[in-house]
Amino acid sequence: MLLLNQAKPTTSVNWSGFVFFAVFGGEGVKIRKILNNNVVVSDKDNQEVIVMGRGIAFNKRNGELIDEEKAEKVFTLEDADIIKKFKTLLADIPVEYMELSERVINYAKVHLGKKLNDSIYISLTDHLHFAIERYHDNIAIKNALLWETKHLYKEEFSVGMEALNMVFDQFNVILPEDEAAFIALHLVNAQLNEDMTNVMDMTKVIQDILTIVKYNFKMDFDEDSLSYYRFLTHLKFFAHRLVKGTHYTGQSEDDLLEVIKAKYPEAYRCSQKIKVFVDKQHGYELMEEEMLYLTIHIERVVKTTK
């Protein structure tokens, strides 16, 4: 996706015209389809382009030229499925929610420093709109993974909390922490390019494994330690493989595993408990390579905590 929506400069530059010129080079561009008063569809180099701006389609018809002075945002998308969903979303949801979502996404990109899949523009906008509608209807939905999300995805949850501030600033609506967790999971989903069900399944798997380790060694994790961060990162990738039904594809480390088993017997026994658990609960078999790295990470996180 090409998204031109930087902050307006403090100079007298006509920013709307600049955005339009940056994409279309000052050419006269016709409206191909009007989605609503604020959103139209056009073409650029045989590619569908969505142009947004308040009142951009007011008193306009298909085939007429777009008023570049009103063009505030220009989107080009490559995925045909995302284009279809995006157009449907923009036709049904007021532009204010798109602006809110974009502010959150831009903040997330800077704060997280990670690439987000284009689908986030659809899923997050839709969620924020629905969440605010539910607020006005006095319908509260509890997030069953609130605690896990706060602890496993701290950075994403922090973005979610900032998003709640943005919601209040723009709509004077106070949403609960549960919504910050939902937003965090949407951001995790956009990083992994997974559907929300898989992300929630992964979160539960990670928390279950952490609980096994915690109770096996009768300890609390030092969540600020580097070893915990590394362990958590490893578990995220492991849980991703589990829900996708794939396995680690590195070289065989049988000899090294024997060394690790002898050197870290308690950590290896804990790994065996995890192996039994995921096989019983998820029908997923831990391979030798996974057992090796799981044991190493468990040993490191336990050593750091003790």
The fold adopted by the segment(s) 96-193 is: PTS-regulatory domain, PRD (1.10.1790)
For 123-281, list the strands marked E by DSSP.
Answer: none
In sequence order, what are the residues at sequence separation of 6 or more whose Cβ sits closer than 8 angstroms to the Cβ of residue 265? none
Residues of the chain with CATH 1.10.1790.10: 96-193, 198-305
Predicted local confidence at residue 27, as pLDDT: 63
pLDDT tens-digit map of 139-184: 888 898 899 999 899 999 999 999 999 999 999 999 999 999 999 9
Least confident of 22-31, 178-187, 224-233: 22-31
Choose between 47 and 219: higher pLDDT.
219
Is a pLDDT exceeding 70 seen at residue 18?
no
Spatial separation of the C-alpha atoms in residues 69 and 62, rounded to whole Å: 18
Least confident of 149-153, 217-221, 225-229, 299-303: 225-229
Is a pLDDT exceeding 90 seen at residue 186?
yes
Q: Spelled out in words, what is the top-level CATH class assigned to the domain 2-78?
A: mainly beta
The end-to-end CA distance of the chain, in Å, is 47
* Residue among 107, 103, 101, 95 at smallest CA distance from 120: 101
In sequence order, what are the residues at sequence separation of 6 or more whose Cβ sits closer than 8 angstroms to the Cβ of residue 122? 82, 85, 86, 89
The fold adopted by the segment(s) 198-305 is: PTS-regulatory domain, PRD (1.10.1790)
Residues of the chain with CATH 2.30.24.10: 2-78
Predicted local confidence at residue 13, as pLDDT: 28
Spatial separation of the C-alpha atoms in residues 230 and 237, rounded to whole Å: 11
Predicted local confidence at residue 5, as pLDDT: 40
Least confident of 15-24, 86-95, 187-196, 238-247: 15-24
Phi and psi for 225 in degrees, rounded to 5?
Answer: -80, 155
